[in-house]
Amino acid sequence: MGTLYLVATPIGNLEDMSPRAVRILREARLIAAEDTRHSGKLLKHFGIQTELTSYFEHNKMGKLDKILAALAEGDAALISDAGTPAINDPGYELVRAALNAGFDVRPIPGPSAPLAALAVSGLPTDSFLYLGYLPHKTNERKKVIREVASLRYTLIFLESPHRISDALQDLLNELGDRQICVAREMTKMFEEYWRGPLSGALIHFSAQPARGEFTLVVHGQIGGAEKWSAEDLLSAIQREQNAKKSARDISTALASASGWSKKEIYTLIVQKK
């Protein structure tokens, strides 16, 4: 009876590939990969000649028998395009199938984008909630964000460059102007870590072409925080108005962070005009 190994692979820098990961992949009878073309380059770089088969969202159920048959003869490995397999990819079904068939499943730890971004974010790491990619559609994205707005966990999301500005805007509107760390192209040549308020992140990433994959780490709700003074709130309102935002958007964005209600903030904005 073989063992199914979940082998973490680099999220960018190939030097992050562990010697153990290379050995396990060389010794396995079969490697299941999310993208065989992408993974083929990785295996070639490390001189790994193990048979490779595709295993992705649209063929995952049809490939289970082939992988389980390989496990009956010896060890097999699962890798994703980058990072730790079975996290935000179809590896879950394979793990369940292997366990149900009586095979052992073991991790070969290594790179993971969500954990790497969390570790360097400067935000609380004692409890966090990983939610993967935000929905593509605006209403669905807002609904997901709204459901976790009151949680005190540090929140971790993934996002594509095409939707980063929309995602940041929705996070700001639904969560208020919380602290965020935006990690981009981690471990690669143009890696970037932007830390600060959501409003600043929105301005920064809307002002330049977005490139690469993004990991967003957002501060959780702060319970029992001291209510802002009227002076501090008015200063924040002025900054938001300078960014040409509507009274409704400003009151939504500042409510949770300031301790003032949306109605109170909206009233202040109207009186200020």
pLDDT for residue 209: 84
* pLDDT grade for 43, boundaries at 50, 70 and 90: very high
**Topology given in CATH for the domain delimited by 3-108:** Cobalt-precorrin-4 Transmethylase; domain 1 (3.40.1010)
How is the chain split into domains, by residue range? Answer: 3-108, 113-218, 230-272
Q: By percentage, how much of the chain surpasses pLDDT 70? A: 97
SS (H, E, C) 85-133: CCCCCCHHHHHHHHHHCCCEEEEECCCCHHHHHHHHHCCCCCCEEEEEE
* pLDDT grade for 256, boundaries at 50, 70 and 90: low
Q: How far apart are CA 158 and CA 113, in angstroms?
A: 9
Beta-carbon-side half-sphere exposure of residue 42 (alpha carbons within 13 Å): 30
pLDDT at 171 over 70: yes
Domain spanning 113-218, CATH architecture = 2-Layer Sandwich (3.30)
Between helices 247-258 and 230-242, what is the axis angle to 10°?
Answer: 140
User: Do residues 98 and 32 lie in contact, with contact meaning Cβ atoms separated by under 8 Å?
Assistant: no
pLDDT for residue 228: 79
